[in-house]
Structure 1
């Protein structure tokens, strides 16, 4: 199927307006009002839920290996979680995971 230039721009503009309205419905409508405590408590867990959902597919089905699980990436993920839990530091966890990943990729070829 081939789209015309006008059709592509119509899709882009429509999606842009839709995205703006979805964000504005929450941010603009609330304005300067204080959010309820129960909602603030739930929103604190959003990054904790989203980050693993973004990272897990790259660990379990890495595109670099054609979707096959890779011991280096699995080990780096385990080290990252362990160091993050132990040190309670995001930077330490990321550093340990990166060092583990690149060291194992170098050693395993």
Structure 2
């Protein structure tokens, strides 16, 4: 199997780096010192809530630890974490209970 051409690889890396820098510069360099409208600040508060499920969901549905196969302990741990977080509104309690349920089920189910 032949690898990717070095020129293509470095072109992609440089373009992605410039694109990432450009997106960040728009917010910090161009409008970073201006007062933002209240409606925009209200929407920015939900950024983490929107991004985190997008990062976690693939790891629950297609976990790399199992080669992409469905894994009951990871699904249960995600549901426990979600439930504890919703009920207690405590991030540390949610993370701790999710981790405890994951490792307990991994131990029990092998």
TM range (shorter): 0.7 to 0.9
* TM-score normalized with structure 2 length: 0.86
**Corresponding residue number in structure 2 for 1:74:** 75
What RMSD over aligned residues (CA atoms) do the two structures have, in Å? 1.7
CA distance in 2, matches of 1:56, 1:7: 31
* TM-score normalized with structure 1 length: 0.87
Residue 5 of structure 2 aligns to a residue whose secondary structure is coil
**Corresponding residue number in structure 2 for 1:3:** 5
Aligned residues: 108
Shift of 1:81: 0.6
Shift of 1:69: 1.6
* Residues 14 and 92 of structure 1: CA distance in aligned 2, closer, same or farther (over 3 Å): same
Stretches of structure 1 lacking an aligned partner (at least 5 in a row): none
**Corresponding residue number in structure 1 for 2:93:** 92
Higher deviation after alignment, 76-85 or 59-68: 59-68
**Corresponding residue number in structure 1 for 2:55:** 54
Stretches of structure 2 lacking an aligned partner (at least 5 in a row): none
